[in-house]
Structure 1
Amino acid sequence: MQRQESGVTQPRPPTVAEARARDKARKRAEEAQQAAAAAAEHKKRTRKRVLIGGVAIVGVAGLVGGGYLAYKALTKPDEVTAYCTVIDQNGQEIVTPDDQCETASNAVGSGAGGAHLLSNGIFIYNGSQYRYYYGGNNTVGKPPTGGTTVQPKGAQITTKSGSTVTRGGLGTSSKSGGGGS
């Protein structure tokens, strides 16, 4: 065995096997580094494509949803409130509680109490003339304003109490808050 002195002793040259092993290790390290870079690039491209696809799906879903809402808004029947009115002794029309028109229309339907229907949408019960007033924002005991006596075509018509107006505006159904028959 020989002694080596630091700074004086020269390292021996590598053997052929050691040189080959170092070269192989260097090549493997470079290949691993290139594979890692390629994998990172692939992952980056895939993530970008997924994000673009997600944005496209959200855009299409938003477009379909917006189209559906627009269609529903266009095809939805108008909602109109019907107010029961009576013509008083002075000939003035006054808004009355909904149950008075319901009672009068039921009497017209059954022929009770001398009730009968006039051709202009007015029905008479116990000597009083009743009809529905469509639309506006009316108060019981005051004259109707902001609406019409003509029943709107294709509208969902309900009274303030929630009954659905049927029979051409004369009478109500017993259904509350639903569609008419």
Structure 2
Amino acid sequence: MRRKSSRSIVLGAAFTVTAAAILIAVVTYPDDPEVVADCVEATPQPDGSHLVVPDSYCGSSSTVVVVNGSSYQYVYGATSSGRYARGGTLVRPTGVTITTRSGTTVVRGGFGGRGGSGS
């Protein structure tokens, strides 16, 4: 009976661990990842946080909206205390479903977006 070399045992173990990691990633990664958006004042506070305002100030726009002389926009993936949002990004992520904390869907996941012609 031939003995397996320690090299083949290590390679077999590495393959098994890699296959298990891939399987876990595929099973646990959601098909349509979600990101939470907060409508905030565009001008940050001195500590870098943004004042959270009603979703109606931002609508479904991904750009800065001006209402009564103040600018508002969505911040994505921030942590929120309810009154202030900290962190996150002002760049709208793609390929994800974006919902506000109040549950309104801003953008559905997937590729592409609303189509239109330039005519």
TM-score under structure 1 length normalisation = 0.38
Aligned-residue sequence identity (percent) comes to 38
Written as runs of structure 1 = structure 2, the 5 A alignment for 1:19-58 is: none
Letter in 1 for 2:37: A
Residues 123 and 130 in structure 1, CA contact (< 8 A), matched pair in contact too: yes
Which structure 2 segments of 5+ residues have no match? 1-22, 114-119
Which structure 1 segments of 5+ residues have no match? 1-66, 109-116, 167-178
Who is 1:125 aligned against? 67
The answer to which structure has the higher helix fraction is 1
Letter in 1 for 2:77: G
CA-atom RMSD in angstroms:
2.9
Q: Indicate which of 54, 66, 79 corresponds to 1:97.
A: 54
Who is 1:165 aligned against? 106
Who is 2:39 aligned against? 84
CA shift digits 1:13-71 (9 cap, x unpaired): xxxxxxxxxxxxxxxxxxxxxxxxxxxxxxxxxxxxxxxxxxxxxxxxxxxxxx6x864
Separation in 2, partners of 1:146, 1:157: 16
Separation in 1, partners of 2:57, 2:82: 12
Separation in 1, partners of 2:74, 2:52: 9
CA shift digits 1:59-90 (9 cap, x unpaired): xxxxxxxx6x86464461221100000146xx
The answer to which structure has the higher strand fraction is 2
Q: What is the CA-CA distance between 1:97 and the residue it aligns to?
A: 2.5
Letter in 1 for 2:55: D
Larger radius of gyration: 1
Residues 42 and 64 in structure 2, CA contact (< 8 A), matched pair in contact too: no
Who is 1:47 aligned against? none
Who is 1:136 aligned against? 78
CA shift digits 1:105-133 (9 cap, x unpaired): 5xx8xxxxxxxx9xxx2121221101000
SS at match of 1:99: helix
Change in 2 beyond 3 A, CA 1:141/1:71:
closer
Residues 57 and 67 in structure 2, CA contact (< 8 A), matched pair in contact too: no
Who is 2:94 aligned against? 153
Who is 1:56 aligned against? none
Letter in 2 for 1:126: N
Which has the bigger relative contact order, CA under 8 A and spacing at least 6? 2
What is the total number of aligned residue pairs between the two structures? 84
